[in-house]
Amino acid sequence: MDREAPTFHGQPSGAAGFLDETGLKTNMTKTTGWSPCGQRFVDHAPFGHWRSQTFIAALRHDRLDAPWVSDGAMNAEMFELYIKTQLVPTLRAGDVVILDNLSSHKSPACCGCTA
DSSP symbols for the chain: -PPPPPEETTEEGGGEEEEEEEEEEGGGS------STTS------STTS--EEEEEEEE-SS-EEEEEEEES---HHHHHHHIIIIIGGG--TT-EEE----GGGG-HHHHHHH-
pTM over the 0.85 mark: no
Reply yes or no on whether the pLDDT at 42 is more than 50. yes
Q: What is the mean pLDDT of residues 89-114?
A: 79
The confidence score (pLDDT) of residue 28 equals 72
Reply yes or no on whether the pLDDT at 36 is more than 60. yes
* Range with top average pLDDT, 26-35, 68-77, 100-109: 68-77
